[in-house]
Structure formats: C-alpha cells, structure tokens
Amino acid sequence: MLGRLLEVASKLPQLKAAGAGPKGSPGTRTTGVSQGSNLGHSYRVLKLPLVCALLIPATAPLLAAAPQRHDEKALKQKYDTFVESLDFRRISRDYPRAVQNLDSVEPETQLAGIKTLGATGELEVLPWLAPFVDSKERDVRIYAGLSLFQTVTSHELKRRDMTQPGKVVIKPPGPDDIDLRPMAWVILKMFRTADTNVRSYAANMAGYLSLCEFEGELREMLKSRHPSETRAARSAMHMAGIDLVDEVRPE
C-alpha cells in the first residue's frame, strides 16, 4: 500500500497540522463517494533521495494479453528516470491532506485525494496517481486514469500548433519542455486493464504523446464493440500518424 510512501512525508511539519492543505489555503475536504478497498498486490520500490519508498505496482490485476511485445524493463527504467526528474516530493508538502488520503484503506477517501491532486494540473502529481490505475476498485482505477489523462493532455496542449486550427496537432517537445513520453510504461498498464474507460484514456494519451509503439494496442481497440474505445483509438492513430487503412470494424 501507499503507507510506506509516507514514511518520510508523514514527518514533514506540514503534516502535523490537522486538516492542513496547500500552503495559504484551507484544508482539503474529502468527498463521500462509495467505493471498495485499497491496492492489494505487491509493489516495487523506487529508491529516490529523501523518500523512503515511492511505490509502483510490479504487477497489475485484470491484465489482458498484450497484442504486441514491449520491452517493459526499458519502459520502466525510462519512467523511473522521468520520475526522478520531477520535484514530486513537493506535492507531499503542498498537498499533505490529499497525500494522506491516498494512503487510506477507504476508496472514497482515496478518491478524494486523487481528485484533489488531479485538479492541480501539476506534472509532479503523476507519480502519485500512477499506482492507482492498478487498484482493485473500479472507480479508483477510472478516476486515476482520468486524472492522468487530463494532466498529460493539458500539458501537451500547451504546444498545440495553432496554425492548424481545424485539427489538434501537437508540436514536438522543445529543449525546455518536459517530455512526457516516458509515461508509456503507465500507459501500457492502462491498456491492459479490463476497463473501457481506462483503456480509452490510455489511447488518448498515446495519441497526444505520439507513441506509435502502441499501434498494436490501438488496432486491437478498433475491434471493440464499445464506441468510446473505437473513437479513442481512431483519434489516437490519427494524432500519432498511424495509417488507418487496415482498420477492422467490429462485427
């Protein structure tokens, strides 16, 4: 669970104040959404300075067979490097109540933390949200996926090519931009869930990040009977420049 992630964060002075919220703001209020329980599977530990354990799931429940092979070790290494480049520790100082909520065994409390961090739009929340795409609770997975999707796409839209107003074209990241393509490791796990919504969020992120390595997953989604999946797959393939000629429509 995320409790060990807080071994250091819980010692911060900000966390000692009951009801503390972001600096200069009132405490975070939890919402009453009824869901199930916390992540219940094994975690791998990321060793990072000043943090005892940033917990990333080693395996995901509800995995489906991947339509193509990926070098998952390489994807994970790139993701780890990306996480180290972010000042994610600041989130535990600026939003202590939300981070505490993530550590709850109550899904409705987890959801409150996920929604609070997702609403910030800050890239530093990504590693805090990513573990929850593996939650055993459907709504927790969905809201975590939604928050990741919204954070990634809003960041990418800052580089939208406005000379082509008729369509969404994202310019490649420049030397001063944060490259979010290492999120591919999280996106791969999202593609493998049993949730239509989470897979659709994964497809959309793959499109915004031009992750052509997920062509196999996107083509599989074109066969789905769920319109949201097929729409997301077609949109992602269009954005990533993947040919749609071989599109297979569901029978």
More confident: 53 or 204: 204
d(CA 149, CA 146): 5
Over residues 18-33, mean pLDDT? 37
- pLDDT tens for 124-161 read 999 999 999 999 999 999 999 999 999 999 999 999 99
Helix, strand or coil, per DSSP, at residue 71: coil
Average pLDDT, the chain: 79
d(CA 205, CA 223): 19
> Where do the structural domains in the chain lie, given as residue ranges?
37-95+119-240
d(CA 192, CA 135): 13
Class (C level, CATH) for 37-95+119-240: mainly alpha
| β-bridge partners, 123 | none
Is residue 60's pLDDT more than 70?
Answer: no
pTM exceeding the 0.85 threshold for the entire prediction: no
pLDDT of residue 82: 98
